[in-house]
Chains A and B, each alone.
Chain A
Amino acid sequence: MPATPQEQQERFDDLYGRYAPAVEAYARRRAPALADDVVAETFLVCWRKLDRVPADALPWLYAVARKTLANHRRRERRAARPLPATRATAELELPGDPTLARAWTSLRPDEREVLALVAWEGLAPADAARVLGCTAVACRVRLHRAKRRLARRLAELEPSPAFDPSPRGASQ
């Protein structure tokens, strides 16, 4: 049964009140300078497509925010302007762990995104798959590979005894 305008308004208010901070955090983790615009545009889409927002709305909202961010970046690339919001520098994204930040920036964007969705947004792989528009199985595989690549990169940057290329460590 179609919702009344009042019910629609209430649902939108509820979604906004409950999830806007999470969407804002999502945007700030990726593009601080664009965060406000991303939140506004995400909820504009939410308003327009309210009937299609699933009951578990957060992954859906993250997916919209992700597309909105991609659109912003595309527009800025087209305009050939500096991209303050898209400088994925280590300092910008991971200020507390410079080594991890270096390893992080060496990953591909799709690897960073799946890791961030799980580690920072706290999504289960099945929910991250909804954000990324892939199957849960594909998401698990992507996550596994991303974790492995990040671990390898970290090991290169901060060798532990097991990875120490000293004669003893390299004796094998």
Chain B
Amino acid sequence: MTTDVLARLQRANPVPYDAPARPTPARRNARRPLLVLAAVAAIAVPAAAFGSQIGGLVGLGDRGTTLPTSSVPEAPNMSGLDWPTTSQLLGTRDGVSFYASKRADGGFCLAVDVNDAGAGSMLACLPPDLAANRPILGVPVFASDARLAGVAADGVARVALLAANGSEIASAPVVDNLYVDNDLPQVLPASIAAYDASGNVLYQRAFGATPWGTP
């Protein structure tokens, strides 16, 4: 009878899911998963006053190369993000390509394509309010590989990852609105910060409990 109870309980499983077989040999995909973020979480630390925002990055006639969105490597995964039909290749640095597009509603979409088989890539669309209030956007730290990469608004000179005690773990200069550091130390960051050329903090966001918070 007690066995029946267990079977009945199994049938009533509120979240049916077959746990994976374990342990099995490590399986590595040729390409790591694409991370899609429709909107990014709220800013933990409000941005200080800064002259520019990420939403102003695109729409500038001389910024990047305009191309059909269908030619962006991550295009097959863009459904549901209201991605505009054209995007701008903002540039490629250290093996990372950045495609951006500005939606009619003021939202900002970014595709980060890491041109390295086995590395992760990312799609994100910020709603207008966030696009107007944050100066950086990039790959989630430690989501699929340790990399600090993203785009920064005008006025941001450097982006850094900070440990819980405030010490700097890694830092990448912003060149042509792009920043990349492919070689992060194996230390868990507590926050990310953007600085101007004088070293003033323009923006800081704590990752909270998740190591894969989106900068």
Contacts and interface: CB of A to CB of B under 8 A. Distances in A.
Interface of A: 5, 8-14, 17-19, 21-22, 25, 28-29, 37, 40-41, 43-44, 47-48, 55-58, 92-97, 100-101, 104, 115-116, 118-122, 144, 147-148, 150-151, 154
A24 to B, nearest CB: 8
A40 B2 contact: no
A41 to B, nearest CB: 5
Given A29-B13, A41-B209, A58 B19 contact: yes
Contact of B20 (A19, A120, A150): A19
A119 B16 CA distance: 11
Given A25-B15, A56-B22, A57-B22, A47 B8 contact: no
A117 to B, nearest CB: 11
- Interface size range on B against A: 35 or more
A118 B8 contact: no
B33 interface: yes
Given A5-B186, A40-B209, A95-B14, 10 more contacts: A8-B186, A11-B26, A13-B145, A19-B20, A43-B211, A48-B188, A55-B23, A118-B6, A151-B1, A151-B4
A10 B28 contact: yes
Going nearest first, the 7 A-B pairs with the smallest beta carbon separation are A147-B2, A25-B17, A40-B210, A119-B9, A5-B186, A97-B12, A22-B19
B33 A17 contact: yes
A151 B2 contact: yes
B22 A58 contact: yes
B142 interface: yes
Nearest to B142: A47
